[in-house]
Amino acid sequence: MATVELRFSALPEHVRTARLVAAAVARRAGVDEAVLDEVRLAVGEACSRAVGLHQVGGIDAPVRVALIEEEKQFSIEVGDEAPHAVPAERVAGGAAADADVEAEEDEMGLAVISGLVDDVEVTTGKNGGLIRMTWPAAPPAVTVG
Amino acid sequence: MDLSLSTRTVGDRTVVEVGGEIDVYTAPKLREQLVELVNDGNFHLVVDMEGVDFLDSTGLGVLVGGLKRVRAHEGSLRLVCNQERILKIFRITGLTKVFPIHTSVEEAVAATD
């Protein structure tokens, strides 16, 4: 089970909340302070992308974020429920130019994520996509007080 | 923290001082500001990012859009940034080659290349 799970309406104003929560849980999980900025940015990118996909697709479902603390590692999963078209299925036509612009923005976010995070897995299917990002984490020190 | 924007004129340059977080929620405000400046005939922009705490790809997209607009008028868009965590985002996306990045507003305003 995830350490912390978050579900939020697919609105841009909530992405910041997801960033703050993710950074707080990552810090607690023992992710290096120097890497927290990257965690914050990567989860923000993944959530922005999911929000965009839901808005474009007119999907009412919330965006899901799972923060998973494991032995020596910390993972974040950001899931959307947008049915992803397989590239070959992209149909040519009137909406093609718009679709291209959206696809470009989509790829910009993914480019930042893959530039930032060494361990990242992107899976997409008919029922939605999932981005899983993992960082090393030192076992939390014993806290006093 | 929200986004703060203020503009001032230095010679023929317009300096846009940005503070706070530029993300998917706030980036449209920055886009509006840049579009308005260009529509009003300000084609040489200096975006001071020293007060920016957070920048994501949406913000990068807005800056690239601004650059495209000023270039259409043979203008320029220069950035001022010394923060490593912000500079890193420009580096991993290859945008350090696209934007002139300066260490101070004075330097950006004086630059002519």
Residues B26-62 have pLDDT tens digits of 999 999 999 999 999 999 999 999 999 999 999 999 9
What six digits make up the tokens of A113? 């994520």
Q: What percent of chain B is predicted at pLDDT more than 70?
A: 99
What six digits make up the tokens of A127? 């029922």
Per-residue model confidence (pLDDT) at position A91: 47
ipTM: 0.87
Per-residue model confidence (pLDDT) at position A88: 45
Neighbours of B29 (CB within 10 A): 16
Is B57–A51 a contact, with Cβ atoms under 8 angstroms apart?
Answer: no
Look at residue A145 and tell me whether its pLDDT is greater than 50: yes
Nearest CB partner across the interface for B61, out of A15, A37, A108: A108
Per-residue model confidence (pLDDT) at position B1: 64
Among A84, A117, A126, smallest CA distance to A102 is for A84
What six digits make up the tokens of A103? 């696809």
CATH number, domain of B73, equals: 3.30.750.24
Nearest CB partner across the interface for A112, out of B25, B54, B93: B93
Name the 3-class secondary structure at B43. Answer: coil
Q: What percent of chain A is predicted at pLDDT more than 70?
A: 79
Residue B102: give the domain boundaries: 4-110
pLDDT bucket at A85, cuts 50 / 70 / 90: low
The span from the CA of B92 to the CA of A54, in Å, is: 27
Neighbours of A131 (CB within 10 A): 25
Q: How many domains does chain B have?
A: 1
Count interface pairs A-B at CB distance under 8 A: 51
The DSSP letter of residue B11 is T
Per-residue model confidence (pLDDT) at position A126: 86
Kindly give, in sequence order, each residue whose CB lies less than 8 Å from that of residue B23, ignoring residues fewer than 6 positions away: A12, A15, A16, A19, A44, A48, B54, B55, B56, B58, B59
All domains in chain A, ordered by first residue? 4-136 (3.30.565.10)
Nearest CB partner across the interface for B92, out of A12, A16, A112: A112
Pairwise pLDDT comparison (B100 vs A85), residue with the higher score: B100
What average pLDDT does the structure give for chain A? 87
Q: Which residue type does A90 have?
A: R
Pairwise pLDDT comparison (A3 vs A21), residue with the higher score: A21
Rg (CA), chain B: 13
Is B60–A45 a contact, with Cβ atoms under 8 angstroms apart?
Answer: no
